[in-house]
Structures are given as C-alpha cells and as structure tokens.
C-alpha cells in the first residue's frame, strides 16, 4: 500500500534556474517556511531534514540536473514507514518550467494514517504547495 501526494506549479524561469535554487540547500532557510535541509544534492549523500514538528535523515537517491531530484527516508527499518520525495522539472515550450513535487509514502505503519493522507490535512498539498509557492517566488525574484 502507498499514498502519493503531488502538487505542481509553473515557474517563470528556465529549468536551470529552478534547479539552482532547488539544490541550494543552505539557502532554504531564507525562503522556505516548510523545510530546511542540510547536505548537498549528490547521489548517495545524507541530508538532515527539518520540517514543522519533526527532524529526520534522508538519502539522495536521484540526481538528474535540471530534470529530477529525489531523496528518500525510512522510519525504523525498511517496510515500516518509507517516504520518497521527488521533484520533477519539465521545460514548457514558452520557456517556463513546471515543477512537480511528489511524496510517496509506503510501509505497514502507513495504514493508521491513511485517512489523514488521503482525506485530511495532507490531502490538499499543504506544506508541499506552500513550498512550491515559496520556491517560485525565490526563483522568479532571482531572474527578474
């Protein structure tokens, strides 16, 4: 069983500019109220994540510059509670970029929280949509 949360936003900038801000983890604290990240965006690197209410470690699992960044984390052991967070950048014909921000949760501990993710606070994108808006604002301010 898995639950997928996904939000998307168009950013008035090329993918390379979006990528530059998305992967500049040390500056997240300057523009994101949803998350702060310590680490670097290279395959296999360990990240220290801070989000409202909890801190955890993640590992970078995909790095395709200007296209896709993914990190994943697990609570306790694999199969208990897993999360994979993927950012996909798609270049639009008009020179803008579509950012798709997706989190996939899985594991047996997910079952007690399934309703929350599908129908509750987590179902509307919540912090993911806020992150997208803040990223858009930061990128567009840099290119204008």
Among 11-15, 39-43, 122-126, where is mean pLDDT lowest? 122-126
What pLDDT is stored for residue 120 in this prediction?
A: 45
| CA gap 55, 40 in Å, rounded | 17
What pLDDT is stored for residue 98 in this prediction?
A: 99
pTM of the model: 0.87
Sign of the C-alpha dihedral computed for residues 29, 126, 22 and 25 taken in this order? positive
């Amino acid at each position: 069983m898995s639950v997928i949360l996904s939000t998307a936003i168009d950013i008035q900038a090329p993918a390379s500019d979006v990528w530059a801000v998305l992967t500049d983890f040390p500056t997240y604290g300057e523009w994101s109220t949803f998350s702060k990240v310590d680490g670097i965006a290279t395959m296999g690197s360990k990240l220290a994540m801070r989000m409202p209410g909890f801190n955890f470690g993640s590992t970078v699992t995909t790095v395709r510059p200007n296209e896709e960044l993914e990190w994943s984390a697990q609570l306790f052991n694999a199969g208990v509670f897993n999360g994979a967070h993927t950012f996909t950048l798609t270049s639009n014909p008009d020179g803008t970029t579509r950012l798709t921000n997706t989190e996939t949760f899985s594991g047996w501990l997910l079952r007690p929280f399934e309703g929350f993710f599908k129908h509750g606070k987590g179902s509307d994108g919540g912090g993911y949509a806020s992150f997208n808006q803040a990223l858009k604002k930061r990128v567009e301010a840099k290119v204008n």
